[in-house]
A and B are shown apart, each in its own frame.
Chain A
Amino acid sequence: MLDLVAAAGDFAFGPGNSFPTVDQDYLLQARQMQAMSFAMHVPLVCFGIAFPSLVIFMEWLGLRTGKAHFLAIARRWSKVMITLFAAGVVTGTLLSFELGMLWPGFMSAFGDVFGLAFGLEGFSFFIEAIFISIYVYSWDRISPRRHILTGIPVIATGITGSMMVIAVNAWMNSPAGFSVDQAGQVVDVKPFEALFANGHLWPQLTHMYLAAYIVVGFLIAGVYAFAWLKGRRGAYFRTALVVPLAVACVAAPAQLLIGDWAARTVAKDQPIKLAAFEGLYETTEGAPETILGWYTPDNTIEYGIQIPKLLSFLAYHDPDATVQGLETVPEDDWPPINVVRMSFQTMVGIGTGLAALAAWFLWIWFRRRRLPETKWFYRAVMVAGPAAVVALIAGWVTTEVGRQPWVVYGVMRTEQAVTGADGVVFGFGALFAVYAVLIVTVFWVLRRIARQPFPEEIAVLETAGEAGEVGSGTR
C-alpha cells in the first residue's frame, strides 16, 4: 500500500499523464454536484432493495389466505414500486454519466479495475427492469402463482445489483487488485480480486441492506401511522402498518451490531478516516469518545461530552487499545473534519433512536401481544421514516467525505480524478432544476395513487362512515 502511495505522489494517472491544476472551488462544485445526485438516488435505491420483498410478501399472504386486503395492498404498493423504480433508473443513469463527466481521470485510470462490477450490476438492473414491468403490468393477466414468481427475480436482482455497486465503493475504500508502475500507469489488473476479495465489501453491504430495510420500513409504516392517528384501523390499514413496522423494528436494532462491524473495518484499514469520524488529533491509548461539540482549528473539540475509553472499546473492542490520531499524517491528507464528524454523529444518533423506537414496539408486542396505544408511538413512527433517510444520507456523507482527499484511498487524490472542463456549475444548476421537476412529479403521482378508490369489497370493510376520504392516508 505504502509504495503505491509513493508512486501515485510522483506520477499522475491517465491519458497523457498530465492533469491541469484544479482550483479548489471548482473541485468542490464537482463534488457537490455528485453529492446532490447521489443523495437523490440513494433513498430510491433503498426502495429497489427492500420494497419488492415487502410487496411480494403481501401478495404471498393474500394468495395463502385468500383475503382481499392483502392483495389490494400488494397491488397498490406495486404501483408505488414502479414509480420509484423509474425515478431510480434515471437518477442512477445520471450517476453513471457523472462518473465520466465529472471524474474522467478516475475512470480513465481505473475503469478497467472495477468496471466488471458495473457490468454485472448492469445485467442485474436489466433483469430487474424487465421483471418489475412484468410484475406490475401482469396482474390478472397471468395466473396468480406465475405472477408471484415473476416477483422473485425483482427481489434477487435488487440485491445483486446494489451488491455490485457497493463492491466498487468498498474497493475505493480498500483498493487492491492492481499495481501502479513507474510511469504512473495502472497495470497488472485483477478485477475479480479487486472487487470480491475485499474486506470492506461485506460490512458495507450488510450495513446498506439493513439501512434500506429500515428506511423503507419506517417510511411506509409512517404513512399508515398517520392513517392510524386519523382513526383508520381496519384490516387493510392495520396490515399495511404492521408489516413494514415489523421489518424496520427487527432491522433497526440489528444495525447497531452491523454498524459496529463497519466501524471496526474502518478502524483497521482507514485509521485517518476513523480519526476524522471522532475528531481525534493525538494518537491516544484508551481513547475517549467525544459526543457532540465542534472540532476547532487548534485541534481540540469544543463543547463535547467525553466518555472515557469508549472509542478504543468501540473501534477495537479493547478499552485500552491505541487509536491513531490525525497528527500522524499531514493536514493535506485530512478529510474536512467537522463535516465528517457531524455526519457520523447524526447517523449514529438517529440510528440509536430508531433502535430504541423499535425496542419499544417489540417490548410491548412480546409482553402484551398488542400494538402500542399511545399516540406518541405513531407520531414517532411518522418521524422515523424521514429521520432514517437523514441517517442514510449522513452515513454516505460520512464514508464518502471521510475518504477525502482520496478518490481511491491512499492511491489517487480526488483532484487528480476531476474533469478538466469548465462550467460544472451550470450543469449543477440545470440538474437541480430537472430534479425539482422529478421530485414534484413523483410526489404528485404518489398522492394520486393513494387517492385511487379501493376495490369495492375493501371499501366496505374499511370505510364505514368515512366516504369521500378513502385511502387518502396511503401512499
Chain B
Amino acid sequence: MELADVPALLILLGIIAYAVLAGADFGAPIWAVTARGQESERLAQAGHRSMAPVWEANHVWLIFVLVICWTAYPEIFGSIFSTLWIPLLLACLGIIMRAVGYVAGGVSINRKVTWLAAAASLLVPFALGAVIGALVAGNVPPGNAAGDVISSWLAPVPIMVGLLLIATSAYLAAVYLAADASRRGEDELADAFGQRALGAGLLAGLLAIAGLVVLYVDARSFFDAMVSTNGHDNELGRICVLASAIAGTATLLLISTRRYAQARILAAVAVAAIVVGWGLAQQPEILPGLTIREAAASNEVIVELLVAVAIGLVLLIPSLYLLYGLVLGGRFDPLAVPEAEGGRPGQELEPAGRTKMALVAASALLGGLMLFTSDSGARLYIGLALFTCGLVCGIVLLARNLVREQ
C-alpha cells in the first residue's frame, strides 16, 4: 500500500456508496411502469416518497468519484472519458431524465414522466455498467480517445455488466421500498415490493453467473484475477466475490420470510462486496499498460486532496447521519394531521434607526472607495470586507423597513 493507492480506495468507496444508495433510484420507476392500474400508481408514489428526500445526496457520490479520479489520476480520467464518451453521455442524459421524474413528482405523479424515469432507469445502470465492463475487458487504452468509441463498450462483457446492473438496481429498489413500506406498516405494499425483489434478485443472480461465463470466454485474465487461483494472489478479492454470493442468497431467504429491514442491509452488503471484488481484480493495471501508481498525481497533490477529503468527511458524515436518521426514522412520512402554519406569538419588527443606517452607508461607501482606488494589497481587501459588510447589512435593513411599513 502506497500513498498513490489511497485515492483509489476512496474511489472504490464512492462507487460502493453510489451503487448501494443511488442504485435504488434507478429501479423504482421500472416497478411503477410494469405494474397495472392502481397498483402502478401506488408503487410510483411509494418510490417517490422514499427516494425524493435522499436522491440528490445519493447522487453526489458519483461526483465524488469523478472529482477524486481526475485529481489523483488525471490521465486515467481523460482516457476513460474520451474513449467511453458515448455511454458516459448516455448515463448523464439518463440521470437528467431521472431527475425530471423527481422534479415532476414533487407536485404530482405523472404517467408520462414515470415512463421517462423508467427509461432512465434502464439507461443509466446499463451505460455505467458498460463503462465498467469496458475497463474489465481492457478496451480503454491510455490516451485521448485512444480506444474505439463504439466497440470498446458495445461488446459482450460490457453489455453483460450493463444488464447485470439494471437487474441489480431494480432489485435494490424493490428491497429498500419493501423495507420502507414495512416500516410504515403498509404490509400489502411491502409484500408487493418483496415479490418483485425476489424476482429481480433471482434474475441478478442468473445474470451474474452468465457474466462469469462471458468473462471466462472473453476476458480470461480478468476472470482469473477475480475468481480462480490460476496465477493470481488476489485472495481478498475472491473472498469478496464469495461473500457477495452468500449475502445475495441470504437476502433472498430474508425476503421470502418478510424480514425486509435485515434484507435491506444484506442486499447492500452483497452489492458492496462485488464492487470490492471488481476493484481488487482490476489490479495492478487499471488501463492496459497503465497502473494506478503510474497514473497518480504527485504526492503533494494527493496529500492536499486527502486533507480536503478528511475535512469534508468530518462535516459530511454527521450530515448524512442526520439525513438518514430522519428518513429511516420515518420523520418525513406524511403527517396524519398537517399542522397549521404560522400564527405563533411574535413581536413587531423595529424600524432601523438612523444611526444604524448611517453606519451601514458609511461602511459601504468607505469600502467602495478603498476598493476603487487600489489594485492589490491590504487596502483592497479591507475595502472589500467593509463594502460587503455594508451591502449585506444594507439589504437586511432595507428589506426589514420595506416589509414593516405596509
Contact string, B82-116, partner A, CB cutoff 8 A, digits 1/0? 11011011011101110110111011100001001
Q: Which of the segments B31-39, B40-48, B54-62, B251-259 contacts the partner chain? A: B54-62
Contact string, A103-137, partner B, CB cutoff 8 A, digits 1/0? 01101111111011011111101110111111001
B296–chain A nearest beta-carbon distance, Å: 9
Q: Which of the segments A279-287, A326-334, A434-442 contacts the partner chain? A: A434-442
Q: Is B304 an interface residue (CB 8 A)?
A: yes
Query: Contacts A250-B394, A438-B99 given: A421-B108 contact, CB under 8 Å?
Result: no
B99 touches A122 (CB 8 A): no
A230–chain B nearest beta-carbon distance, Å: 18
Q: Is B284 an interface residue (CB 8 A)?
A: no
A109 touches B368 (CB 8 A): no
Look across to chain B and name the residue whose beta carbon is closest to the beta carbon of A268: B375
Which 7 pairs of residues, A with B, have the shortest CB-CB distance?
A: A115-B71, A66-B346, A100-B81, A68-B342, A111-B74, A123-B312, A108-B78
Residues of B within 8 A of A444 (CB): 104
Q: In whole angstroms, what is the CA distance A238 to B402 when docked?
A: 9
- Pick from B56, B343, B364: contact of A129, CB below 8 A: B56
A137 touches B341 (CB 8 A): no
Identify whether the interface residues of B are mostly helix, strand, loop, or mixed.
helix
A109 touches B57 (CB 8 A): no
- Pick from B57, B97, B106: contact of A82, CB below 8 A: B106
B139–chain A nearest beta-carbon distance, Å: 14
B222–chain A nearest beta-carbon distance, Å: 23
Interface residues of B in 335-393 (CB under 8 A from A): 335, 338-349, 364, 368, 371-373, 375-376, 381, 384, 387-388, 391
Query: Contacts A133-B56, A189-B300, A420-B144 given: A66-B66 contact, CB under 8 Å?
Result: no
Q: Is A297 an interface residue (CB 8 A)?
A: no
Q: Which of B62, B103, B106: most chain A Cβ within 10 A?
A: B103
Residues of A within 8 A of B145 (CB): 104, 419-421
Q: Is A448 an interface residue (CB 8 A)?
A: yes
- Pick from A199, A243, A264, A441: contact of B403, CB below 8 A: A243
Q: A66-B345, A119-B309, A435-B96 are in contact. List 17 more A-B contacts (CB 8 A).
A: A79-B106, A89-B60, A90-B95, A92-B63, A96-B67, A97-B81, A108-B144, A111-B70, A111-B297, A116-B304, A122-B67, A123-B316, A134-B322, A189-B301, A268-B375, A431-B89, A448-B107
Q: Which of A96, A250, A420: most chain B Cβ within 10 A?
A: A250
Q: Which of the segments A138-146, A270-278, A384-392, A393-401 contacts the partner chain? A: A138-146
B83 touches A421 (CB 8 A): yes
- Tell me how many residues of A have a C-beta within 8 Å of chain B: 120
Q: In whole angstroms, what is the CA distance A142 to B68 when docked?
A: 35
A242 touches B403 (CB 8 A): yes
Residues of B within 8 A of A122 (CB): 60, 63-64, 67, 312
Chain B, interface size category, equals 35 or more
Q: Is A257 an interface residue (CB 8 A)?
A: yes
Q: Is A377 an interface residue (CB 8 A)?
A: no
Q: Is B80 an interface residue (CB 8 A)?
A: yes
Residues of B within 8 A of A130 (CB): 57, 316, 319-320, 322-323
Q: In whole angstroms, what is the CA distance A89 to B98 when docked?
A: 12
Residues of A within 8 A of B66 (CB): 96-97, 100
Q: 29 A-B contacts, Cβ less than 8 Å apart?
A: A15-B75, A16-B142, A62-B342, A64-B346, A66-B347, A69-B342, A71-B341, A90-B96, A96-B63, A100-B77, A100-B81, A101-B85, A101-B88, A109-B74, A111-B297, A116-B308, A119-B309, A122-B67, A122-B312, A137-B52, A138-B332, A140-B338, A189-B298, A191-B304, A238-B406, A254-B387, A427-B86, A438-B99, A438-B100
A112 touches B403 (CB 8 A): no
Q: Is B395 an interface residue (CB 8 A)?
A: yes
- Pick from B81, B96, B339: contact of A91, CB below 8 A: B96
B315 touches A127 (CB 8 A): yes
Query: Contacts A108-B144, A111-B77, A423-B149 given: A246-B399 contact, CB under 8 Å?
Result: yes
Q: In whole angstroms, what is the CA distance A434 to B97 when docked?
A: 7
Q: Is A167 an interface residue (CB 8 A)?
A: no
Q: Is A192 an interface residue (CB 8 A)?
A: yes
Query: Contacts A14-B75, A112-B298, A112-B301 given: A129-B60 contact, CB under 8 Å?
Result: yes
Q: Is B227 an interface residue (CB 8 A)?
A: no
Q: Is A34 an interface residue (CB 8 A)?
A: no
Residues of B within 8 A of A110 (CB): 74
Q: Which residues of A contact B (CB under 8 A)?
A: 14-16, 19-20, 57, 61-72, 75, 79, 82-83, 85-87, 89-94, 96-97, 99-102, 104-105, 107-113, 115-116, 118-123, 125-127, 129-134, 137-138, 140-142, 144, 153, 187, 189-192, 199, 202, 206, 235, 238-239, 242-243, 245-247, 249-251, 254, 257-258, 260-261, 264, 268, 317, 365, 369, 419-423, 427, 430-431, 434-435, 437-438, 441-442, 444-445, 448-449, 452, 455, 457
Residues of B within 8 A of A445 (CB): 103-104, 106-107
B78 touches A104 (CB 8 A): yes
Query: Contacts A96-B66, A130-B322, A133-B323 given: A235-B406 contact, CB under 8 Å?
Result: yes
Q: Is B79 an interface residue (CB 8 A)?
A: yes
A251 touches B402 (CB 8 A): no
A70–chain B nearest beta-carbon distance, Å: 8
A455 touches B104 (CB 8 A): no
A242–chain B nearest beta-carbon distance, Å: 4
Residues of A within 8 A of B406 (CB): 235, 238-239
Q: Is B53 an interface residue (CB 8 A)?
A: yes
Interface residues of B in 137-156 (CB under 8 A from A): 142-146, 149
Residues of A within 8 A of B143 (CB): 15-16, 420
Look across to chain A and name the residue whose beta carbon is closest to the beta carbon of B104: A441
Query: Contacts A57-B396, A119-B67, A242-B399 given: A107-B59 contact, CB under 8 Å?
Result: no
Residues of B within 8 A of A123 (CB): 308-309, 311-313, 315-316
B116–chain A nearest beta-carbon distance, Å: 7
